[in-house]
């Protein structure tokens, strides 16, 4: 094992060594070793049941690992999961927004959950309005918004407390290609500002947008690296081919 990395796990947004999660006899995640750098866009790919969801649940502090080391923003997952939860944001594919509330009310509500005072909620709302070009829409009900907009709002809400890491669970499946590009522009913007983005998806074209990816299958990490490097290494042209080559063997 690389000694240098074991000494300074604090440097990483995510630091995992020999991470294992078992449910009874079933091994959901087996001996995961990986790290995510601050400000990186990191993709976790795999089919249903590959162990992505379990990995995400451990990183967000919802599940305790069976064994191994896991540090999130330098905090230990076993003893400091409360602090970890305050420093991360989570956006699920179902966008857990309140449909009957307006965009602003959603922002205010989620800001309140994270303990923001009214002043900082207002400044975050202004930031969102400006950064995501939501002006004129803040008082619209979420239920009346098109899918691409809901996605944007869900991202705003996930980043309302300025978290160091944002987890995106299959964020853009099925939306308009041009809307999807706008969304990824927002993600890149957040990453440039230093936010770490961790994306799970089983859509390979989405993986192309990640700076580094990790391909999982049956609880094991099969490959990890930059998309282009992996494509060259496995002598394939597309992510789809890469995935199939790695998983089918």
Binding interface with another protein (CB under 8 A): 46-49, 146-147, 173-179, 181, 184-185, 188-189, 192, 202-205, 207-209, 211, 227-228, 240, 243-244, 247-248
Taking the least distance from each CB to another protein, the nearer of 88 and 239 is: 239
CB of 151 to another protein, least distance (A): 10
CB of 85 to another protein, least distance (A): 28
Side-chain-side CA neighbours of 194 within 13 Å: the count stands at 4
N- to C-terminal Cα separation, the chain: 26
Q: Are the C-beta atoms of 113 and 106 separated by less than 8 Å?
A: no
Taking the least distance from each CB to another protein, the nearer of 115 and 174 is: 174
Q: Residue 238, SS3?
A: coil
The phi-psi region of residue 174 (left if phi > 0; otherwise alpha if psi is between -120 and 50; otherwise beta) is left
Taking the least distance from each CB to another protein, the nearer of 72 and 190 is: 190
CB of 10 to another protein, least distance (A): 26
Strands (DSSP E) contained in the chain are 14-23, 26-36, 41-45, 67-72, 75-76, 88-91, 165-169, 196-201, 212-217, 220-225
Give percent helix, percent strand, percent coil of the chain, each to the nearest 5.
40, 25, 35
CB of 61 to another protein, least distance (A): 26
Taking the least distance from each CB to another protein, the nearer of 124 and 212 is: 212
Q: Are the C-beta atoms of 9 and 72 separated by less than 8 Å?
A: no
CB of 238 to another protein, least distance (A): 8
Taking the least distance from each CB to another protein, the nearer of 79 and 237 is: 237
CB of 148 to another protein, least distance (A): 8
Taking the least distance from each CB to another protein, the nearer of 137 and 203 is: 203
Structure tokens at 55: 């990995």
């Amino acid at each position: 094992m690389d000694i240098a990395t074991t000494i300074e796990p604090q440097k990483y947004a995510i630091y995992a060594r020999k991470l294992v999660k078992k449910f009874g006899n079933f091994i959901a995640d087996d001996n995961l070793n990986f790290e995510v750098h601050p400000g990186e866009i990191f993709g976790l790919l795999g089919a249903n049941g590959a162990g992505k969801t379990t990995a995400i649940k451990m990183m967000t502090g919802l599940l305790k690992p069976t064994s191994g080391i896991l540090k999130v923003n330098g905090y230990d997952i076993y003893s400091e999961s409360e602090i970890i939860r305050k420093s991360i944001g989570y956006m699920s594919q179902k966008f857990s927004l309140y449909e009957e509330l307006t965009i602003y009310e959603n922002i205010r509500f989620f800001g309140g959950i994270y303990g923001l005072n009214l002043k900082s909620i207002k400044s975050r709302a202004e930031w969102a309005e400006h950064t995501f070009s939501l002006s004129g829409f803040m008082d619209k009900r979420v239920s009346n918004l098109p899918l691409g907009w809901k996605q944007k709002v869900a991202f705003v809400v996930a980043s309302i407390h300025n978290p160091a890491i944002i987890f995106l669970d299959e964020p853009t499946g099925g939306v308009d290609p041009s809307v999807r590009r706008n969304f990824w522009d927002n993600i890149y913007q957040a990453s440039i500002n230093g936010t770490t983005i961790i994306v799970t998806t089983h859509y390979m074209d989405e993986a192309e947008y990640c700076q580094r990816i990790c391909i999982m299958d049956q609880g094991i990490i099969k490959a990890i690296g930059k998309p282009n490097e992996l494509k060259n290494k496995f002598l394939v042209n597309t992510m789809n081919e890469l995935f199939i080559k790695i998983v089918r063997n």
